[in-house]
Amino acid sequence: MKLHTLRRAVIGTVAAAATALALTACASGAANSGATGSADDNPYGLITPGQIRVASLGDSKPYTFTDESGEFTGFDVELFTDVAHRIGIDDVVFTGQDFSGLLAAVANGQFDVGVAAIGITEERKQTVDFSDGYLAGYLTVMASPDADIADEGDLDGKRLGVVQGTLQEAYAVKNFTDTELVRFPDNNAAISAVVSGAVDAHFLDYEAAKEYAEQYGLENAIDIPSFDAPAGFAIAKGNDAFKDALNEALHEAMEDGTWKELYQKWFPGSPMPDQYLPSDEQTPTPSESPTE
Ligand code: SNW
């Protein structure tokens, strides 16, 4: 707690200095010149100017996870790092959180952004703002092949793991009413329970399920589209300068093929969605298609 107080005090000083600088800039009519401006050194209202603190997850491979040396990596991590670079920031610090506390930690200013395959929903928008979407996929029930789970009806009377605070939990509460839900803080704990037989299946993101399936001989038993809740970067409400900059950089990363490259690297063999590809690689929608 003492450390916390100290850090806040330091941040307070930095913030005061930044405000003073901004005021000086205003007075000289040069405010808000963006990342390249020399006067305004914190255009995105970051906790520490020049650094982005990211709330993430250590066990959501291949989206966000820590490798053998403890470094954060994965699709979301590499995409966000690329986007941050495009807005002039290379000092990006990822920290693992429980998913259930992640959005609150962003909303109350402990982190500048949340990056963890976080689906954009109206409910979550009450707590945080989101960048535009960057990934739309499936929610997957993963089980042992012996569990005989092939469709949603097969979950009746079964024990199903969900990570607290996820869309999977919300979907299961609403739709799997005859299933016993067992809540876990993270995927690793839930997978251990599937492997030990303490639960019959676990409900998580498609690519993470694929990863665990290979590792533990489990299978993707049911895939449920979650295209209406594409993942976005979560930021504190009202920080439009930061949001706009992230969006612009994100769309650049899509347009120049960086998004596609990362998708192929981290999700090999998965169907390539259209909407985040460079515009000249997108297939025409049916109404524009000459065959329609
Ligand atoms: O809604 C999907 C989205 O379409 C894409 O497949 C990436 O995952 C989602 O954002 C859902 N992710 C869950 C959620 O937002 C779990 C996140 C996690 O476990 N890291 O609750």
pLDDT tens digits, 15-24? 444 444 444 4
Tell me, in angstroms, the distance from the centre of ligand 1 to residue 125's CA: 15
Is the Cβ atom of 56 under 6 angstroms away from ligand 1?
A: no
Residue of 118, 141, 212, 266 best suited for mutating to test ligand 1, as the one with most atoms within 8 Å of CB: 118
Q: Is the pLDDT of residue 162 over 70?
A: yes
pLDDT tens digits, 100-138? 999 999 999 999 999 999 999 999 999 999 999 999 999
In terms of Cα–Cα distance, which of 93, 118, 101, 212 is closest to 161? Answer: 212
Q: Between β-strands 64-66 and 201-205, what pairing exists: parallel, antiparallel or unpaired?
A: unpaired
pLDDT tens digits, 3-58? 444 444 444 444 444 444 444 443 333 334 444 444 378 999 999 999 999 999 99
Q: Check if the beta carbon of residue 92 is closer than 8 Å to that of residue 86.
A: no
Closest atom, ligand 1, to C-alpha of 168: 21
Is the Cβ atom of 118 under 6 angstroms away from ligand 1?
A: yes
Find the range with the poorest average confidence among 17-31, 198-212, 270-284: 17-31
Q: Which position has the token pair 């439009």?
A: 240
Q: Is the pLDDT of residue 234 over 90?
A: yes
Burial 143-169 (b: 16+ CB within 10 A, else e): bbeebebeeeebbeebbbbbbebbbbb
pTM (2 decimals)?
A: 0.85
